[in-house]
Structure 1
Amino acid sequence: MSYKNPYAQEYEMQPQQQSYGGSGQNDNDFVGFMNGINNINTGLSHYQQLINNIDVLQRRLLSEVNEEREQQARSELDAVTAEATNLQYQLKDLIKQSQQQAIGDSAKEAQAENSRQRFLKAIQDYRIVEVNYKEQNKEQAKRQYRIVQPEATDDEVEAAISDVGGQQIFSQALLNANRRGEAKTALAEVQQRHQELLKLEKTMAELTQLFNDMEQLVIEQQENIEVIDKQVENAQQDVEQGVGHTNKAVKSARRARKNKIRCIIILALVLAIVVVVIVVPVVVKT
């Protein structure tokens, strides 16, 4: 059966242009940066909408009794979840890029940090949606299990749910002819819930890692700033050392000129004395 997913939306993040503004380009550089931030914020809004759609579809799956509509909702949920996963990694890369471009500019840094905080909140919202769905899935699986084993303890139910759908216990129940139909239906339901739980565990692990990666960006940002500050400090020291060397060279040149002048004066005095010694006796004799 073909159907159109009412939750599917055409959306693709635009790549953020890397720009390096030199003198006279600061205005253009900031405009380009803000265009990138607007692109990110549009993506964040779409990501939040996808999370809302996932929540709606999950609630439908928990309450749907028609098998055909249930399969349709499940396919829609898989499609929306895949779109959210693809988008969240695009957002991660673009936000990281924007933070790198913003280093040293407080106005840009504020915009990039605002986008990062929005993304963290959206990830946290998504995690809450998945946790709630996981718990509701488990409760439904437990109810289905108790249809076959109403006298089972909580620990036994938990073990059956965790054991790939409780295959062994359901197989034993199938041996009871009076309950064969109930056991088959319950087994299929629990197995389906178990597969849902496995997918949820994977999604939640990815979201946790993504959240940690976005938190880590703050540390990386600080390290980048410290590296730049160190480079500026080293450059300043080099300039100061260069100025010091220049001052020494100037002083040396001045001393050299003074010494040269002294030598010229001394030489002139020597010549004057020689002239006096030679010329005066001759004049006297004459």
Structure 2
Amino acid sequence: MSGFYAEISSIQESISQFDSYVNAITDLHARSLNALSEADAASNTAKLAELTESTRALSNGLAKRVEALQKPVKGISKQDAEIRKNRITLVHGKFVETLRRYQSVEQQYRQRFKDRVERQFKIVKPDASPEEVSAVVNDTQGGGSGIFLQAISSSNRYGESRQAYREVQERHQDIQRIENTLAELAQLFNDMANLIDRQNEQVDDVEAKLGGVELDTRKGVEQVDVAIKHARSARRKRWICFWITVIIILAAIGVGVGVYFTKNPPNKSSSSSGSTNSTTSG
């Protein structure tokens, strides 16, 4: 179990690192929204892309490590199996909790980026219809860019419109990156849900096997007890039979001796001889 405990500790440290990455991503999202220059925006975008990739690699690695903990372990006691289950459930819960926080951050900033795109579009075309706004915000099939460019060509605020368009393009990149991250997180959530189901099945199987072994052991002990009782009973019966046989033999000997002395009294011949000798002497 020492190796298991070491891996659990290492996974917990990685989850803490994952959590710190989510904090950093949150900070970069906020900076991106508040960037005052194109240089600042570009710098934040580059940092965000790099950190997002690092976070993706870390989260995928964590998912594999948590999954590896589910591999069946032979020769494990029921108590150790329960300890493993509790520890795995704990790190699984912390990992999923961080995934949910990451998902919440991405969903929040996806909406804020979309709100920014909508505001930028309405700067260029204040009377835009809801359908046009939706097409630009979601860039449906790439049609949003066309609508925005058409609005720019009709605007008398060309310089401001071009700047708004550049920001919208950047926001679309941010939104697309967030959409990809959310899709990956959804897959991780699904994997983790399946993982905990498999863990419960494995633990139930181990407990069933251990319960069967315990039952077999108990039955074996009961059978040994029965065998001991039978052996003791058999010994008692053998001793009873032995003493009955001895008694029968002694009784038979006694009967034989009695019959013998009955037929052959020990003093009868001697008495007869004494009487005859007395008569002759007279």
1:246 aligns with 2:224: yes
**Matched residues in 2 for 1:64 and 1:87: separation?**
28
1:73 aligned to 44, 53, 56, which one? 44
Assess if the C-alpha contact under 8 Å between 1:165 and 1:191 holds in 2. Answer: no
Letter in 2 for 1:244: E
Assess if the C-alpha contact under 8 Å between 1:61 and 1:74 holds in 2. Answer: yes
**Matched residues in 2 for 1:176 and 1:205: separation?**
37
2:234 aligned to 238, 256, 259, which one? 256
CA apart distance, 1:190: 3.4
**Matched residues in 1 for 2:124 and 2:212: separation?**
75
Assess if the C-alpha contact under 8 Å between 1:99 and 1:221 holds in 2. Answer: yes
1:129 aligns with 2:100: no
- Identify which range, 212-221 or 63-72, moves more after superposition: 212-221
1:235 aligns with 2:195: no
CA apart distance, 1:274: 5.3
Give the TM-score taking structure 1 as reference length. 0.68
Aligned residues with identical type, % of pairs = 30
Assess if the C-alpha contact under 8 Å between 1:50 and 1:80 holds in 2. Answer: yes
Matched with 2:55 is: 84
Trace 1:160-175 onto structure 2 (pairs within 5 A): 160-162=136-138, 163=140, 164=142, 166-170=144-148, 172-173=150-151
The superposition leaves residues 175-222 of structure 1 with CA deviations (integer Å, 9 ceiling, x where unpaired) of 759788777665554344333222212212333443465566665555
Letter in 2 for 1:145: F
Matched with 2:18 is: 47
Trace 1:118-197 onto structure 2 (pairs within 5 A): 118-162=94-138, 163=140, 164=142, 166-170=144-148, 172-173=150-151, 189-197=167-175
Trace 1:7-18 onto structure 2 (pairs within 5 A): none
**Matched residues in 2 for 1:118 and 1:233: separation?**
31
Letter in 1 for 2:44: A
Give the TM-score taking structure 2 as reference length. 0.69
**Matched residues in 2 for 1:179 and 1:165: separation?**
22
**Matched residues in 1 for 2:167 and 2:53: separation?**
24
**Matched residues in 1 for 2:26 and 2:182: separation?**
14
CA apart distance, 1:223: 4.7
CA apart distance, 1:135: 1.3
Name the structure where helix makes up a greater proportion of residues. 2
The structure whose RCO (Cα within 8 Å, separation 6+) is larger is: 2
**Matched residues in 2 for 1:178 and 1:276: separation?**
145
Matched with 1:199 is: 177
Matched with 1:9 is: none
CA apart distance, 1:157: 0.5
The superposition leaves residues 242-282 of structure 1 with CA deviations (integer Å, 9 ceiling, x where unpaired) of 12211221122123223323333344345445555666555
* Aligned Cα root-mean-square deviation (Å): 3.9
Letter in 2 for 1:251: K
Paired residues, number? 255
- In structure 2, stretches of 5+ residues that fail to align are 74-79, 265-282
**Matched residues in 2 for 1:281 and 1:42: separation?**
103
Assess if the C-alpha contact under 8 Å between 2:152 and 2:161 holds in 1. Answer: yes
The superposition leaves residues 159-181 of structure 1 with CA deviations (integer Å, 9 ceiling, x where unpaired) of 33221351443464577597887
Assess if the C-alpha contact under 8 Å between 2:103 and 2:182 holds in 1. Answer: yes
Matched with 1:24 is: none
Distance 1:284 1:177, change over 3 A: closer
The superposition leaves residues 101-143 of structure 1 with CA deviations (integer Å, 9 ceiling, x where unpaired) of 974349x94x666544543443333223212221121122223
